[in-house]
Structure 1
Amino acid sequence: MSNEPQIDPYKSLSAFFAYELRRAREAEGLSQNDLAAEIHTTRACVCAYETCARRPDREFAQDADKRLNTEDRLQIIHHHARKEHGSQWLMEFLEHEKEATSVKIYQSKAIHAFLQTEAYAMAMIAAGHPKDLNAAVAARLARQELLTREEPQAPYVWILMDQSVLLHMVGGVEVMRAQLVHLLKAGEFPKVTVQIVPFSAGAHWGMNGEFTILGLDEGDIAYTEAQIGGRLIYDPAEVQELGVRYDQIRAKALSEDASRKLINKTMGFFDEVCVAKEQPQRRRGELVC
């Protein structure tokens, strides 16, 4: 009797793949060692795939289908599992992020984790009511280590943000002003580029959602954001399409210098808000946050 955890096939398509792989292997009377030897992999890999600890590639699904007489069933499940959204993708993405040689980010709702102050991160994460707020904040800030690595380990980072990100009142006026100061300082890092997509840019691909493209030695991958869970994208064609969209968004962004000027101007707006809060009335047409 195996001591490995039982996989719930209803949890996700990835879990269904793991469940079907194990079911088909056992139906053929094969151990994990047997299957590994016959399709030229390792028992550790088979075990990881059957417990959802790791995700197999398409070649493994093809080889497993042939040996386990499952026609194309594992390949079909694998194909759709790679396209599903789920919270488990984020943890896998964060592991890849540590090895990235380049990072291209588009943000439309909030300052990216790489550039958040502790106070801003605290306010963002607290809104989700985590069980351990301090641990969650520490984990987010730890990702910023990527930016401060010594050369040549530090990756090139390009961050595009909609102008609205600068105006979302996360944590209050003082937190936002300090966050914008930090944003300007981060933009001075030698391998970090921060550009703002202004309201005047009009419609662009970024309005369809946030995404990140990681440059890795073995090839680029991407991650798209969504409620509850995102999607990690390995398919080269999809990653290439997102790369084109990123370039098209960047073509509508302000230059680095113009972006810095807009950030400074926004800081002035928050200063005005502080003054306005002390006044009983605001002039008609004045922006209220």
Structure 2
Amino acid sequence: TFVLLGFSEYPDLQVPLFLVFLTIYTVTVLGNLGIIMVIRINPKLHTPMYFFLSHLSFVDFCYSTTVTPKLLENLVVEDRSISFTGCIMQFSFAGIFVVTEIFMLAVMAYDRFVAVCNPLLYTVAMSQRLCSLLVAASYSWGIVCSLTITFFLLELSFRGNNIINNFVCEPAAIVAVSCSDPYVSQKVVLVSATFNEISSLMIILTSYAFIFITVMKMPSTGGRQKAFSTCASHLTAITIFHGTIFFLYCVPNSKSSWIMVKVGSVFYTVVIPMLNPLIYSLRNKDVKETFRKLVFTK
């Protein structure tokens, strides 16, 4: 059995943190499930872009639900224990959804590239079969990466110290309480995270480089503004998400401060799943219009 230390070193903040995280989680669930429902209801939104957005919302909902309920529980109960199996399962599922999101954002960048650079061939190039394959590949790679890291974590020995200095079963925190040499496990996490970051960012940066060149060649200012506005939400989501992941897993020295690791973990497991539906819905006329019609009809 492990004990998740969480934010117990700040006893006066337990209730305020519970209320803040409960509010964030409620917004996350309502926002992401709301986007999925809106996309399914409106036939106008049955396009590749919204198909990918609905899966992004599903992934956000899943990995927030994997982490946040246990975080909320530990803020109000004295017993902060979690079984070894429960801890490994929490990490495994969270790992699947985080890696899936990394490549889902890359797939969405490629979708924007095709839409802006080849608008006449968009419906042919982004066929339903290709969209399904891209989504399936993102989920499959997430499962492979998560199971690989989990396998090396299970190779470690755990005796004596069982205090995990985090609110979530995160690789660095699990490795820190093992009594084995963590070198191999740490390198697997570093290599996996770095590969995922570099490969997905290369797809994103290449796509947006071509988008920028195409947009700058457009004769009308209105056309440029429309093209940039469709990409702005996606770029915002990418910057926030990848910045946090890069800081936590691709910079070896970042693990020297546990409070920074906790803040980073809160950001990508609790805050970002809430931000994505807000980023995409607040800047999207079609989503807002469908939601408004749904509310007034009810």
Coarse TM-score class (shorter-chain normalised)? under 0.3
TM-score (norm 1): 0.23
Higher relative contact order (CA 8 A, sep 6+): 2
Larger radius of gyration between Structure 1 and Structure 2: 1
As a proportion of its length, which structure holds more strand?
1
- TM (norm. structure 2) is 0.23
